[in-house]
């Protein structure tokens, strides 16, 4: 089959969206809240499972916001974002930032990163980025961030999203070789 044939809408339609989500849900992800701040002090954020490390030299990370994300539309204009890696005890924070709540930061304790972006309390790590590139891919965008500052914090298990539910780490006996 030629690449052109694979790329047609007809071919793509063969995979049912529900089936796609169901199968892809077998790949577990961590959960982060990507935040940004406007010039008038407005704060935005959205929960994201698609965050990933991309490159070591230069240091690049990325995530994939839905094109329909109202938050990302405004965050993109600021040119910067901060990734907040959630711990297993931050499920309520995840749910708030996955909602369409008018002020997602209401009642959420947070400070600011060195670059002045919203930094949530008690996260496992944070990564501050400039937007290096944005690529349209289907109904999502791939946003590539150039890392400007980052820090690992204390904390135990990450919040894990897997097959439609939330989990925490259950370690197995194994080390990175
Ligand atoms: C565990 C989890 C992971 C998510 N991952 C993504 C993601 O990678 N990209 C995305 O666009 N939305 C993701 N969402 C959904 C967004 O958080 C949600 O659609 C968004 O916050 C809606 O509000 P907005 O329109 O203000 O962006 C995720 C939600 C949850 C609960």
Asked whether residue 80 is assigned to any structural domain, the reply reads yes
Answering whether pTM is above 0.85, one says yes
Q: What is the pLDDT of residues 54-91, one digit of tens each?
A: 999 999 999 999 999 999 999 999 999 999 999 999 99
Assess contact for 45 and 118: CB atoms under 8 A.
Answer: yes
Domain count, the chain: 1
Q: CATH no. for residue 69?
A: 2.30.110.10
- The 3-state DSSP class for residue 120 equals strand
Residue 173 belongs to some domain of the structure: no
Give residues with Cβ within 8 angstroms of 121, minimum separation 6. 109, 110, 111
pLDDT digits (tens, 9 = 90+) for 97-128: 999 998 999 999 999 999 999 999 999 999 99
Mutation probe of ligand 1 site: the residue of 33, 48, 145 with most atoms within 8 A of C-beta: 48
55 CA to centre of ligand 1 in angstroms: 24
Cβ–ligand 1 distance for 93 under 6 Å, the answer: no
For residue 46 and ligand 1, the question of a CB distance below 6 A is answered with yes
Domain span holding position 92: 28-157
Strand partners, 140: 66, 137
Is 15 a member of any domain? Answer: no
């Amino acid at each position: 089959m030629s690449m052109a044939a694979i790329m047609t809408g007809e071919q793509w339609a063969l995979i049912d969206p529900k089936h796609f989500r169901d199968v892809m849900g077998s790949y577990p992800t961590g959960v982060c809240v990507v935040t940004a701040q406007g010039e008038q002090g407005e704060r935005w954020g959205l929960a994201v499972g698609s965050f990933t490390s991309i490159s070591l030299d230069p240091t690049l990370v990325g995530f994939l916001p839905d094109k329909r994300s109202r938050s990302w539309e405004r965050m993109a204009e600021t040119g910067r974002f901060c990734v907040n890696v959630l711990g297993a005890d931050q499920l309520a924070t995840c749910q708030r930032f996955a909602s369409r709540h008018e002020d997602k930061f209401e009642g959420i304790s947070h400070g600011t990163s060195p670059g002045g972006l919203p930094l949530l309390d008690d996260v496992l790590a944070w990564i501050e980025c400039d937007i290096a590139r944005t690529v349209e891919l289907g109904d999502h965008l791939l946003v590539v961030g150039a890392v400007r500052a980052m820090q690992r914090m204390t904390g135990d298990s990450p919040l894990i999203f897997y097959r439609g539910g939330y989990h925490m780490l259950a370690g197995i006996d194994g080390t990175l070789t």
